[in-house]
Structure 1
Amino acid sequence: MATTMQLSIDCADPECLVRFWATALGYVAEAPPEGFPDWRAYWLHHGVPEEELGDGDCADSVVDPDGVGPRLWFQQVPEGKSVKNRLHLDLKVGGGLSVPLETRRQRVDAEVERLLAAGASRQRVLFTEGSDHYGVTMQDPEGNEFCLC
């Protein structure tokens, strides 16, 4: 049996990243468990000290509404991001190698524009003339790297 997993991302502003990654992935903010008005109430009920809960009572995770993809949890931490990620997400928006390169390029570029409008920044284009790969490296609103390919 496979082990389930979530991806935990340290951040300064979970609410901002919940909005961004829900938009980027087509995910939704995770609702608090039944019987709790918000996540803060849930964690307090389970004995998590107030000082460990960060700011606000908003959702700090996103989930795939179809239940297929992993949960992403945004953990508020006091320190800022200081180096390149050792792990990053590849968002496969181009359609794969069975799709003509020019079509993949158009799809990736359209997604770049959509995510720029959502708060991402473009870092570099990943393409070499004569290759069959096209991608773009980007950063989310807190500087976490991810690729569109």
Structure 2
Amino acid sequence: MAAGIDLTLDCTDAQLLATFWKTALGYVDEPPPAPFETRAQWLAQFDVPEDDSVDDGAWLCDPEGLGPRLCILRVPEPKTAKNRLHIDVRVPGYGNPGERWARIRAEYERLVKAGGTVLAEFDGHHVVMADPEGNEFCVAAASA
């Protein structure tokens, strides 16, 4: 049996990135684990520093249960280099190359409005972007 994975993004503003990635992926806030009714109740069970807040983290999931969970956690140090692992946002649908590129363009334009930045465009294939805190990701067509 294959192991499941979570993806974790370090950040300075977990709520800002959670809003962006919910928009980008169509993810939703993951409910707290049972028996907790809120993330604050769940967090209270840990011996965390007094200045830690439930807003210092966000836990997102695919509402259909297919994609990996995304954990977004505030850390004190800033991002200093290119990601060694990045997310590829795959735009669904098929068609000829022009149709696929039109869908990619529409998606990256939507993500720019949500706070993303275009870093490089590989015309007809994919676009390299950054989320509001500079984490790189790609927008490309779904695999054929």
Shorter-chain TM-score bucket reads 0.7 to 0.9
Counterpart in the other structure of 1:130: none
Determine the C-alpha separation between the residues in 2 that align with 1:27 and 1:101: 28
Structure with greater proportional strand content: 2
What secondary structure is seen at the aligned counterpart in 1 of 2:79? coil
1:100 aligned to 2:96? yes
Moved more, 108-117 or 85-94: 85-94
* Structure 1 pair 59–84 and aligned structure 2 pair: CA distance change class (3 A): closer
Distance 1:89 1:17 in 2: 14
Name the CA distance, whole Å, in 1 between partners of 2:27 and 2:125: 25
Aligned length: 140
Q: Deviations over 1:81-117 (max 9, x none)?
A: 111111111111164xx63110111000000111011
- Residue deviations 1:101-147 (CA, integer Å, cap 9, x gap): 101110000001110111101111013xxxxx511110001100000
- SS state at 1:75 partner: strand
Aligned pairs (5 A) from 1:1-149: 1-45=1-45, 47-51=46-50, 54-57=52-55, 60-93=58-91, 95=93, 99-127=95-123, 133-149=124-140
Deviations 1:4-26 (A, max 9, x none): 11001111111111111111001
SS at match of 1:3: coil
> How well do the aligned residues superpose, as a CA RMSD in angstroms?
1.9
Percent of pairs identical after alignment?
A: 42
More deviation, 28-37/107-116: 28-37
Structure 1, unpaired ranges of 5+: 128-132
**What letter is aligned with 2:106?**
A
Cα distance in 1 between the residues matched to 2:57 and 2:35: 15
